[in-house]
Amino acid sequence: MCGGDAEHRMTDENQMPGVTREGSSPEGGGAGRPLARRRLGPEDYVRGILAGDRAILARAITLVESNAAAHMDLAQEVVAGVLPHAGNSIRVGITGVPGVGKSTFIEALGTHLCEQGRKVAVLAVDPSSTVTGGSILGDKTRMERLSRHPNAFIRPSPSAGNLGGVTRKSRETIVLCEAFGYDTIIVETVGVGQSETAVRAMVDFFLVLLLAGAGDELQGMKKGIIELADGLAINKADGQNKVAAEAARLEYSRALHYLKPGSSGWRAEVFTCSSIEGHGIPEIWEMIVRFREQMTGTGAFSARRQTQRANWMVEMIEQHLYDSFYSNPSVREALPEVRAAVLEGRLTTSAGARDLLRRFYETSRLEDMVAGL
Ligand SMILES: Nc1nc2c(ncn2[C@@H]2O[C@H](COP(=O)(O)OP(=O)(O)O)[C@@H](O)[C@H]2O)c(=O)[nH]1
Ligand SMILES: [Mg+2]
């Protein structure tokens, strides 16, 4: 462990103004980039973030996203240092099938908010993203207008890693962005499947985007996503699609009456919008503002954040145990064979599980496990 003096070089500030990219090798300096960059201690990061230095913010996020053990302690010191200044925001999660228009919607909403003087940070959660950043690179063009706005900050999904790792990074990135002064945090789910619940667990308001006339009007119902929603928006309500969008809106509104609300004390509302033409966007924002006022009034707003923090701790414990187990060399070595034996019925499931757990405990040294914390 390098503690507070872990040092590294980052390359993020060389990006275009509103968009930062993941520094995939914080300690490598990146090919062709100058290696001699001033090394920062935790207090440099904290001071820089609180002073509104975007380059430092980008470097701090890269630090938080680093998988290198040497960066962990420093990252945690930075997050802890800014934590008292975080939290003063509305966190909005946006989900929907690929192609529904999430990025276009965020561009429209984000620009609308920036023009009102709000400071908007956009993050993506995509556990499936590859080293290249996958879909977010395409999104950069889609959010071009927003990315040029001085009040906006767009951060791609951290690459690599499982869902647990990606959500840990995103949650810490939210903290950094809030401490910096972003008052609106928008989180786009990019991957399909599990990322929805992960994002729901880190935001105040969860918006589901839908399309009209996609065959099954109640798409998403089965997946239970609608049940997580605080608001629904039928996107692409423009041109020939307008009538169908309005019909879908009515159908979803009716269906919502039979569902348990995603947030108790709040009934999800359904809107139509066009992210390209811009209509419906201000109304959706007004709904989010109403939600915040109402939920703050009842205490539900801060209660949810508290629950989220407590759940986050439990998740981190589970993640840690999971990682320790699957990174254990003896477990890794035996896993394929034990799995095959269970598959073929040569070993019972529970005997297989116990065999691997035994290997884990026999080869784990207590001192190492404690030192790894
Ligand atoms: N007509 C119309 N097209 C839209 C609208 N919003 C997004 N699109 C288009 O839908 C496609 C997918 O949009 P994108 O924002 O990348 O979707 P994402 O995968 O959910 O992020 C793009 O070609 C957009 O131009 C809209 O409101 N109306
Ligand atoms: Mg997108």
Ligand 1 residue neighbourhood (C-beta within 6 Å): 96, 98-104, 142, 235-236, 238, 274-276
19 compared with 173, residue with greater pLDDT: 173
Q: What is the mean pLDDT of residues 250-272?
A: 88
Output the pLDDT for position 266: 93
Residue 300 · residue 265 · CB < 8 Å: yes
Written as one letter, the residue type at 303 is: A
Structure tokens at 307: 């629950």
Residue 49 · residue 176 · CB < 8 Å: yes
User: Considering only CA atoms, which residue is closest to atom 7 of ligand 1?
Assistant: 101
Reference 137, options 270, 20, 230; nearest CA is: 20
Reference 27, options 56, 61, 70, 77; nearest CA is: 70
- Tell me the CA distances in angstroms from 182 to 9, 173, 240, 266, one per residue in order: 25, 11, 37, 25
**Would you say residue 143 has pLDDT above 70?**
yes
**Would you say residue 255 has pLDDT above 90?**
no
Interval 226-237: pLDDT, tens:
889 999 999 999
306-371: CATH topology is Helix Hairpins (1.10.287)
Q: Where are the domains of the chain?
A: 3-84, 86-300, 306-371
- How does residue 194 score in pLDDT terms, banded at 50, 70 and 90? confident
Interval 314-359: pLDDT, tens:
988 998 899 899 999 999 999 999 999 999 999 999 999 999 999 9
Give, as residue ranges, everything with CB less than 5 Å from ion ligand 2: 102-103, 139
- Domain range 86-300, its CATH number among 3.30.1180.10, 3.90.1640.30, 3.40.50.300, 3.40.50.970: 3.40.50.300
The label of the residue with tokens 């276009």 reads: 104
Output the pLDDT for position 16: 41
Output the pLDDT for position 139: 53
Phi–psi pair at 321, nearest 5 degrees? -65, -40
- How does residue 128 score in pLDDT terms, banded at 50, 70 and 90? low
Show the CA angle centred on residue 162, arms to residues 308 and 75, nearest 5°.
Answer: 65
Output the pLDDT for position 220: 56
User: Considering only CA atoms, which residue is closest to atom 8 of ligand 1?
Assistant: 101
Cα–Cα distance for residue pair 84/313, rounded to 1 Å: 18
Ligand 1 atom showing the smallest separation from residue 106 Cα: 15
Output the pLDDT for position 218: 57
Residue 26 · residue 9 · CB < 8 Å: yes
Output the pLDDT for position 14: 36
Cα–Cα distance for residue pair 329/335, rounded to 1 Å: 10
Tell how far the Cα of 129 is from the centroid of ligand 1, in angstroms.
Answer: 20
